[in-house]
Amino acid sequence: MGTPRESRTNQAAEVVDRLEEAYPDSTISLRYSNRLELLIAVILSAQCTDERVNTETEHLFETYDGPEDYANAPQNELAEELNSITYYNNKAKYIRSACQTIVEEHDGEVPDTMDELTDLSGVGRKTANVVLQHGHDVVEGIVVDTHVQRLSRRLGLTEEEYPEPIEQELMELVPEGYWQQFTHLCIDHGRATCTARNPDCDDCVLADICPSEKGDSEIDLASGEPW
């Protein structure tokens, strides 16, 4: 078991420092070329890998151009285009409905406030945060996906279980200038080393400050269960 820094604020700062050094080019891995494509890619990425989404959106973005195209697409046709993606039927519905709202209420533009974004079908706070950060350069919060959730708990930054309270706690700990990057760093480390089932603690840059480190700790703080 590693020894965390004396306060959670210092622990968060140390985690950011070390992960920044380990992953200097960390950034979003979804591919898009405008705000609407970003919104659609993020909706599609719920419980699906970014890699799979990127493969599907390559032809999707060539076929459909602008919110009217999606809003007017027949449900079956759009769902068929997305059929290798998890929950493709529901996601096709969300995309059609969100695009309808964008056309009818926002002059065809992806809105730039948390309230307006979360009013769109299929858009929760996490999706809205990603679109605000990468589409509008507005950082209102911290995107808490499955990697951020797992690593924050393992590293002793939070004991909360669900994304929204975790985000509130992290916003108190992580310096505001790092709110966006914190997510990407956790995602990179979560994919490369601190994986859900079999983290490689022996080869982890955070091992000496991680209270879940497998060498000594019997408990995975992410799940609260023994390793």
Q: Measure the CA–CA gap between 16 and 227, rounded to whole angstroms.
A: 25
Query: Which position among 91, 134, 153, 154 is part of the footprint of ligand SF4 (CB under 6 A)?
Result: 154
Query: Which position among 45, 210, 216, 225 is part of the footprint of ligand SF4 (CB under 6 A)?
Result: 210
Q: Is 108 exposed, middle or buried (0-12, 13-18, 19+ CB in 10 A)?
A: middle
* Contact between 158 and ligand SF4 per CB under 6 A: no
Residues 6+ apart with CB under 8 A from 41: 30, 31, 32, 53, 54, 57
Q: Determine the interface stretch with ligand SF4 among 70-78, 135-143, 171-179, 200-208 (rule: CB under 6 A).
A: 200-208
* Contact between 183 and ligand SF4 per CB under 6 A: no
Element of type H or E holding 55 = helix 50-63
In the bound state with ligand SF4, the residue whose beta carbon lies nearer, of 127 and 212, is 212
Catalytic, 145? Answer yes
**One of 91, 126, 188, 214 is an active-site residue; which one?**
126
Query: Which position among 88, 212, 218, 226 is part of the footprint of ligand SF4 (CB under 6 A)?
Result: 212
Catalytic, 25? Answer no
Closest CA to 39 of 126, 104, 115, 106: 126
